[in-house]
Chain A
Amino acid sequence: MQATKERLDRDTIAMRAAKELKEGDCVNLGFGLPTLCALYVPEGVRFHTEAGLLGYGRLVMSDEIDLADWHYIDASGRFCLPAPGMAVMDVLTSFAMIRGGRLISIMGGLQVSERGDLANWNTQNNALAGTIGGSMDLAVGAKRVIVTMEHNAKDGAYRLVKKCSYPLTARECVDLVITDLAVIEVTSEGLVLKETAPGWSPEEIQDVTEPRLVLSPDLRDIEL
């Protein structure tokens, strides 16, 4: 029974996602798990927020309330600090950065389909039941879209699916999915299983994944 086997915790998923970034990259970290990546990224990665900051500094911690300033908030609405080299811009410029492919986007997911469709803003067929913000712009426009999510829903339902049942954020936009079980690349041949969580076999991961997984020739344990 897979459920009893250990899955990666949120910090480990964030750590693995952060490994996709290198010095000089500009990245937008979405709400939730992706924000944790900020703790693990290499030196020289610059953070972007839709509200119009590029290259902001560290978050204000909860015991430093006096440093908090509404003028500096990150992509998740947390207080951050200005940093040397930071650029401030209006939203039109900020979204030209997003839509023009200057950024890497790491965002959460509810479902990813085998052709890379992403659903991550809503579980109902009602636009009022979810919030879009900049997620559609990021999914369509980012240079690279990395989705971090739990491999399965709490009730065990597939999140890697043949076709998304939730309303889409964007079609054919996801490049890489990092879950608590695997690292999976979206290719024209389908979903390629590249790395597995320790102790999980490709067959066990296939069992909790709806579409057929293609095994990478250099399939290995997740490396951090």
Chain B
Amino acid sequence: MLDKVVASFDEAVADVPDGACIAIESWGIPATPQNLIAALKRRGVRDLTIVTHTFIPMVWNEDDAALPSLLLPQMKKLISAIVGIQRLGAGAFLQEYVDRGLDVEITSHGTLASRLYAGAASLGGFYNPVGVGTLLEVGKEKKVIDGKEYIFEKPIRPDYAFISAHRADRLGNLTYRGNFRSDSPMMAMAARTTIAEVDHVVEVGEIDHEHVVTPGAFVDRVVQIPEGALGSHEKQTAMIHMLGQLESTRDLLFGKE
């Protein structure tokens, strides 16, 4: 049996070349494959295209959390639906990089997921009702179908997908937990090479076949998140407590009594 489990994050990203297009699951801290991002930063490859739903600035120490924006100095293009935090000036933090040539393509989240699916299913693209009449229609082909206006969206076929999952067996079958599922299944299907960092690696047969969400055929490499590492239960709990102590983030993240 080909065992897809890889010993280290550095080994998992060792073949990522300059210029690669990488889809990275991220909902802020949640669902983000933080160790793969950190490993890619260490690898130092350049001219990357990053596809991710949420691209927010790194406002904390790299030892506490690693988000896709950690890769900013290595990027030439970003495709994303949420760039920055609205109350912190949205995408203003990218301006210095844009001035130096970073290309930013803004999309809606549903469109991003559909473009990934189109890539996964080898579709040539699709006509999209979302974005018609907005800044997002600029430069796109328009078409009226049955009296309704659409804009054409191209598929996204990333070279790599970096995702996080809850459990993986050695064949690469994945299950997720809660909203960590998010865009990961589409990214895994769309990418030529998918790398998953997971809470638990289990033996083949331990995942009920009815519960597999992403079948192993879409997954190439699996790395278990070590205890205490980024994204581990300990680290996530510590981050919640840290953010919960700050009045500004407490109001954002919690309900009020």
Contact = CB atoms under 8 A, between A and B. Distances in A.
B195 to A, nearest CB: 18
A71 B236 CA distance: 10
A74 B114 CA distance: 22
A208 interface: no
B193 interface: no
A139 B243 CA distance: 32
Interface string A115-140: 00100001001011111111111001
Interface centre among A63, A64, A140, A141 (most CB of B within 10 A): A140
Interface string A177-191: 000000000000000
B254 A60 contact: yes
B90 A128 contact: yes
B185 interface: yes
A88 B178 contact: yes
Interface string B77-91: 000011111100011
A78 B232 CA distance: 20
Interface stretch (A50-58, A150-158, A199-207, A215-223): A50-58
B241 A65 contact: yes
Contact of A133 (B30, B98, B109, B180): B109
A132 B84 CA distance: 11
Contacts of A137: 108-111, 130
A78 B117 contact: no
Interface in B44-87: 53, 81-86
Contact of B178 (A62, A71, A130, A169): A71
Interface residues of B, number: 61
B212 interface: no
B225 interface: no
Interface in B193-237: 213, 236
B250 interface: yes
B177 A92 contact: no
B257 to A, nearest CB: 5
Interface stretch (B5-13, B14-22, B133-141): B133-141
A52 to B, nearest CB: 5
B84 to A, nearest CB: 7
Given A51-B31, A132-B108, A140-B129, 18 more contacts: A51-B27, A68-B254, A70-B29, A70-B31, A88-B178, A91-B109, A91-B110, A92-B186, A95-B110, A99-B110, A128-B83, A133-B108, A136-B134, A137-B109, A141-B130, A168-B134, A169-B134, A170-B134
14 contacts: A53-B178, A61-B254, A62-B251, A71-B180, A77-B28, A79-B240, A79-B254, A90-B113, A95-B114, A128-B90, A128-B92, A128-B104, A130-B86, A134-B110
Interface of A: 31, 49-53, 58-65, 68-73, 77-79, 82, 88-92, 95, 98-99, 117, 122, 125, 127-137, 140-141, 167-171
